[in-house]
Amino acid sequence: MLLLPILFSTVNGYAQLAASYWSFYDKKNCYDNEIMISGNSKLVELGLTNLTSISCPGLTVTRSPKLKMLNIPKLKNFILPQPDSEPIQLFLATESSKFCLTTQEVSNWIQSNNTYIAEANGKLCEPIFTEKLCKQPKSDCLEIFGDVKINGNFDQDSMKSVDIIYGSLIINGTNLTDFGFLERLEYVVQLKEKPAISVTENSQLVNYTFPKMKRIHSAISRYMVFQNNKKLTETFRNGTICSEIRKSLGLGLYALLLDGGSCVFDIDSEPDFSFYIYSNDYLLHLGLSSLSSITCPRIVISVCPNLKSLGWSSLKNIALPTFSVGPITLDISTDSPSFCLTTQEITTFLKTSDIDLDYVYGKVCKPERFDEKLCEKPEKGCLEIVGDVKIGEDSDPEIMRTVEIIYGGLTIMDSNVTSLEFLESLEHVAQLKEKPSILIANNPNLINFTFPKLKKVLWMSARGIIFMNNSNSVFSENSDYCYNLRKSSGLSYIAPMINGLTCDCEGDQITSENLPSYQSCTKLNYGLKLVNISDTAQLSFLSNEVDNIQYQADVTANFENLHPDFCLSIEEFIEMAGYAFSFIKLHAKLCKDHGDLGEYVLCSFKSMKELPNNCNILLGDLIIENGDEALMRKLMNVEYLFGSVIIRNTELKTFENLGYELCIIHLDDSKPLIQILGNKVLRDANIPYLSYVATQETRVSIIQDNNPARSANCELTNKYWKIKLNFTGGDCDDNGMFHIDENAQLIELGLLNMTSISCPEFNIWYNDKLEKLNTPNWRVIETPNNTTRGPDLSIAGNSLKFCLTTREMRMFMHTNENYYFGAIFCEPVFDEKLCNAPKIGCLEVFGDVEITPNTNLEAFKSVEIIYGSLNVSGTNLTDFGFLESLEYMAQLYEDLKFCTGFSENMKKTMVFGDSAMTINGETCSRNCQFV
């Protein structure tokens, strides 16, 4: 970076750059150094009147609060330092309210192909109007100063000669079919925080192209907007159209908004983020049919809600770059219910040696055709099978000897097999539904559990491989069997489940007693915790075998009862935030020695006006008040805040620019963590990029006296971030969340006095030892006062022994919202109303119910609830009228067929799994709806 020695001379009382410094220069070569003019409190103008050319990475002018203008009228030639250099960047953050750019300066900069306006936080100087530079469109004008608004009565001929608009182009409510009348328009420059081009409510518009448009600029990120143009709606559903517009005009990554959807479709060559396709609302297919190889550390295809397929028919190889450390991360989470992967694509993923497949979501595309090698069910000679494979008492295991890949689940249940040697060719099992990839249960003769060639297993459920109720002799005689099986199956840290027990490589559970069982671990899950280990020789596996310590859950730390001067450096906090450390207590100070901050820019916060534009780390409470609204862009690059957040009495509508993946470390519990107060036009209190919070103990946030017209919303964080906060204040009524997550020792809730809940979410997740709720007085689930829907209930990832009582299930089914339960039923106490089989007078039946030609149908007439499955087969029934009282069914056993018919009065069905109903071989949604 080139720091100019600023020399001042006084001309008529004004300070400017000394004419003697550059008066004889018409060209400045700075090569790899940027021109930076910064921290000049008296500078009024640059006054580089003879400067015609620069050849350097950029021109930056900052922290010059009295600067009124640049005054570099002749600068027209922008020469790249090297042929492959990035465009020359203009960055103006003067902090002067009087600063302006002339139309000549803006025109010179934007018309060069070698320039880029990163920021220009000023305004346009009032020009001298001529017959060519006009304030309003008219014949023969070349340039227009101010916004151009085109409506139904607009004279189109007045725009035919216009080359550039210094303002916004607004086209609204017309009958235009195209923009042919803008035949010479090449540039639109808007220095205010609003879109440069806005095209809305033009019902006849069919052509979205501007004949000669070259470049567009605005002070906001989304500066070209098309909205509610009726005949273009379907056109914009083609994701490639959006990308083509953006790239043809050199628009920024998020610049273009088409009917509320954006197009971010980039393959970035940066080593740390190589293949990135994100938030493409209209993208249907990637269509990269010629793509044969990808070499990068990360592949992300996310938030594309209409994506149907990848279309990677030629992809054969995925590799890690030589500069990267594995594994390759593959994240395919499109949010599209119709998205599927072909068998060829899945095979490519599975056969990639060093790849993490934990975040691959979708379903298996139905192959165009099956043949003797690709089969729909096990047959002799098959190499690949699409669908679940079930081997039971009447199955012939021999037909599985040639099978190499199963695109579905493998279940071996109630069989007579003694070993798995018949799976001699099986290398991969890919289960894309939320159920185990491999389930081996109730095989009393099975004594050899070794998979001869199994290499990789893909699954979406909490456990990929489950063994239950087989011959126990192997496990009782060889306690290392689970570890050997995990290693042979390519499972580095998520272990098989054997009779309800696991051998996970849980680094936070190591003791002297179980340390020998860790010798086969190559990765440690949940970090590493060593306490009172006396035999350190047994820790040799850490250096010999373990190449990765994984933090699959937040790492819990507790810092208390330490020396009063105990401190942590900023560098240490950044490291802990990167691993999502969750603190029980954080009794520490911030060290005076900040540590190695690398390229991070550290700033002490005094006020928004005094804050520089390039801060990455802030020290002090961040206070945003009335008058600071236009300065929010200064916070866009802030990643770490050591203090609290106070936003009060502003005109802000959103907090979109508040930080980049913001981490807040708050070490003073005497103040609330976040205060959002008196913001009367606030639409949404969400801080979208808040990713991490660490406090001494409490996490109190106050949201009060904001926009009364908006419904209360205390979800400060994006749903993708796991941030737990406690809210208070009048704007937070009935918005509390009930979350009980990741409590490793929790066995039951034991909320004996809880009678009701009223909140949007009720989640109980990943409490490894949780076996029951034990909420005997809980009877009511209410709809929050400020919402129209009841809470979402989700219970998942807890102990395999976790059970729900019939009373609890009955209460859940009486509420009209959605549920997801990973549970079994607790064994009930039967009485005359709750029976283990249908009989006259029973209101509830616990267990699976089968109706055959010999069934007494009278016994069903009083039944209101079945806790189990209902199977009606082989009868002469014409209708289900005998189920006249049946309203609810609940089945928590995923592998059983849920229902094949039910009465019209049935109010709700609940199921753990993907498909609740099968009609003529086709599955319905989890809500069992007829189609």
Establish if 508 belongs to a structural domain. no
Contacts made by residues 558-561, CB under 8 angstroms, sequence distance 24+: 558/583, 558/584, 558/585, 559/583, 559/585, 559/586, 559/587, 559/588, 560/584, 560/585, 560/587, 561/587
Establish if 247 belongs to a structural domain. yes
Do residues 828 and 821 lie in contact, with contact meaning Cβ atoms separated by under 8 Å?
Answer: no
pLDDT at 40: 82
Establish if 482 belongs to a structural domain. no
- Tell me the Ramachandran region of residue 688: left when phi exceeds 0, alpha when psi lies from -120 to 50, beta otherwise: alpha
Q: Which residue has the higher pLDDT, 452 or 725?
A: 452
Q: pLDDT tens for residues 582-627?
A: 777 888 899 999 988 988 999 999 999 999 988 999 999 999 999 8
pLDDT at 846: 93
Determine phi and psi for 241, rounding to 5 degrees: -60, -50
CATH label of the domain that carries residue 666: 3.80.20
d(CA 257, CA 242): 9
Mean pLDDT of 149-157: 91
SS3 per-residue string spanning 105-124: HHHHHHCCCCEEEEEECCEE
Q: Which of 348-357, 537-546, 679-688, 881-890 has the lowest mean pLDDT?
A: 537-546
Q: Are residues 759 and 699 in the same domain?
A: no
Q: Which of 435-439, 489-493, 584-588, 634-638 has the lowest mean pLDDT?
A: 489-493
Strand partners, 796: 765
d(CA 727, CA 35): 47
Angle at the Cα of 527 from the Cα atoms of 521 and 529, rounded to 5 degrees: 90
- State yes or no: pLDDT of 184 exceeds 90: yes
d(CA 700, CA 687): 15
Do residues 435 and 408 lie in contact, with contact meaning Cβ atoms separated by under 8 Å?
Answer: no
DSSP string, 789-842: S--EEEEESS-TT-EE-HHHHHHHHTS-S-EEE--EEPPPPP-SSEESS--TT-
d(CA 799, CA 746): 10
Q: Are residues 464 and 552 in the same domain?
A: no
Q: Are residues 289 and 240 in the same domain?
A: no
Nearest Cα neighbor of 406 from 337, 355, 346 is 346
* Position 404 confidence tier, pLDDT thresholds 50, 70, 90: very high
Angle at the Cα of 744 from the Cα atoms of 738 and 746, rounded to 5 degrees: 60
H helical segments located in 478-569: 481-488, 540-544
Six-digit token string for 234: 């379907």
Mean pLDDT of 274-297: 81
pLDDT at 542: 56
- State yes or no: pLDDT of 13 exceeds 50: no
d(CA 326, CA 329): 8
d(CA 247, CA 264): 11
Determine phi and psi for 357, rounding to 5 degrees: -105, 20
Number of Cβ within a 10 Å radius of residue 891? 22
pLDDT at 130: 93
Q: Which residues constitute the domain of residue 752? A: 737-825
CATH label of the domain that carries residue 424: 3.80.20.20
Q: Are residues 171 and 240 in the same domain?
A: yes
Establish if 292 belongs to a structural domain. yes
- State yes or no: pLDDT of 814 exceeds 80: no
Quote the percentage of the chain above a pLDDT of 70: 72
State the virtual CA torsion across 745, 749, 750, 752 in degrees, nearest 10: 160
Four-residue CA torsion sign, 107, 111, 115, 118 = positive
Q: Are residues 316 and 417 in the same domain?
A: no
Four-residue CA torsion sign, 174, 177, 182, 187 = positive
The secondary element (H helix, E strand) that includes residue 36 is strand 35-38
Q: pLDDT tens for residues 494-538?
A: 556 766 656 556 666 666 666 666 665 656 655 566 555 555 555
* Position 697 confidence tier, pLDDT thresholds 50, 70, 90: confident
Q: Are residues 164 and 252 in the same domain?
A: yes
Q: pLDDT tens for residues 329-347?
A: 888 988 888 999 999 999 9
Q: Are residues 305 and 331 in the same domain?
A: yes
Q: Which of 301-305, 442-446, 483-487, 602-606 has the lowest mean pLDDT?
A: 483-487
d(CA 874, CA 876): 7
Beta strand spans in 115-167 (E): 115-120, 123-124, 133-134, 143-145, 148-150, 164-166
Radius of gyration of the chain from Cα atoms? 33
Q: Which residue has the higher pLDDT, 398 or 40?
A: 398
**Interacting residues of 11 by C-beta distance below 8 A, sequence separation 6+:** none
Give me the numbers of helices (H) and strands (E) for the chain, helices first please: 9, 76
Mean pLDDT of 717-722: 42
pLDDT at 261: 55
For tokens 């799976």, what's the residue?
423
- How are beta strands 405-407 and 428-430 bridged, if at all? parallel
d(CA 581, CA 464): 27
- State yes or no: pLDDT of 267 exceeds 50: no
Establish if 668 belongs to a structural domain. yes
Q: pLDDT tens for residues 789-809?
A: 556 778 887 888 899 999 888
Six-digit token string for 516: 């020998």
Q: pLDDT tens for residues 354-377?
A: 888 878 889 999 998 999 999 999
- How are beta strands 363-364 and 340-341 bridged, if at all? parallel
Q: Are residues 720 and 743 in the same domain?
A: no
d(CA 475, CA 470): 10
Six-digit token string for 350: 């599975």
- State yes or no: pLDDT of 61 exceeds 70: yes
Q: Which residue has the higher pLDDT, 785 or 646?
A: 646
* Structural domain ending residue among the three candidates 675, 706, 728: 728
10 Å CB burial of residue 658 (0-12, 13-18, 19+) is: buried
Q: Are residues 667 and 749 in the same domain?
A: no
Establish if 467 belongs to a structural domain. yes
Q: Which of 310-319, 443-452, 472-481, 739-748 has the lowest mean pLDDT?
A: 472-481
d(CA 85, CA 97): 33
SS3 per-residue string spanning 425-438: CCCEEECCCCCCCE
Establish if 105 belongs to a structural domain. no
Q: In 3-state terms, what secondary structure has residue 99? A: coil
Do residues 771 and 804 lie in contact, with contact meaning Cβ atoms separated by under 8 Å?
Answer: no
Mean pLDDT of 174-203: 91
- State yes or no: pLDDT of 788 exceeds 60: no
Q: Are residues 753 and 719 in the same domain?
A: no
* Structural domain ending residue among the three candidates 442, 473, 504: 473
Determine phi and psi for 918, rounding to 5 degrees: -120, 125
- How are beta strands 169-172 and 148-150 bridged, if at all? parallel
- Work out the mean pLDDT of the chain and round it to a whole number: 77
- State yes or no: pLDDT of 917 exceeds 90: no
Four-residue CA torsion sign, 428, 433, 435, 439 = negative
Q: Are residues 547 and 618 in the same domain?
A: no
Mean pLDDT of 463-472: 74
pLDDT at 463: 64
Determine phi and psi for 632, rounding to 5 degrees: -60, -25
Measured CA to CA in angstroms, residue 593 lies from 570, 599, 788, 913, 920 at distances of 8, 16, 52, 53, 70
Six-digit token string for 851: 């109706």
pLDDT at 333: 86
SS3 per-residue string spanning 403-416: CCEEECCEEEECCC
Number of domains in the chain: 6
d(CA 738, CA 888): 26
Establish if 407 belongs to a structural domain. yes
**Interacting residues of 641 by C-beta distance below 8 A, sequence separation 6+:** 617, 618, 622, 659, 662, 663, 664, 665
Quote the percentage of the chain above a pLDDT of 90: 24
Q: Which residue has the higher pLDDT, 143 or 890?
A: 143
* Structural domain ending residue among the three candidates 776, 809, 825: 825
Four-residue CA torsion sign, 363, 368, 371, 377 = positive
Do residues 725 and 698 lie in contact, with contact meaning Cβ atoms separated by under 8 Å?
Answer: no
Q: Are residues 451 and 523 in the same domain?
A: no
Q: Which residue has the higher pLDDT, 849 or 247?
A: 849
Beta strand spans in 296-425 (E): 298-302, 317-319, 328-333, 340-341, 355-360, 363-364, 374-375, 384-386, 389-391, 405-407, 410-413
How many residues make up the chain in this entry?
A: 931
Q: Which residue has the higher pLDDT, 76 or 734?
A: 76
The secondary structure of the chain in percent helix, strand, coil, rounded to multiples of 5, reads: 10, 30, 60
Do residues 51 and 71 lie in contact, with contact meaning Cβ atoms separated by under 8 Å?
Answer: no
* Position 916 confidence tier, pLDDT thresholds 50, 70, 90: very low
pLDDT at 642: 96
Six-digit token string for 883: 């189920």
Q: In 3-state terms, what secondary structure has residue 235? A: helix
pLDDT at 60: 87
Q: pLDDT tens for residues 405-420?
A: 999 999 999 899 999 9
d(CA 149, CA 155): 11
**Interacting residues of 430 by C-beta distance below 8 A, sequence separation 6+:** 346, 350, 364, 405, 406, 407, 408, 437, 457, 458
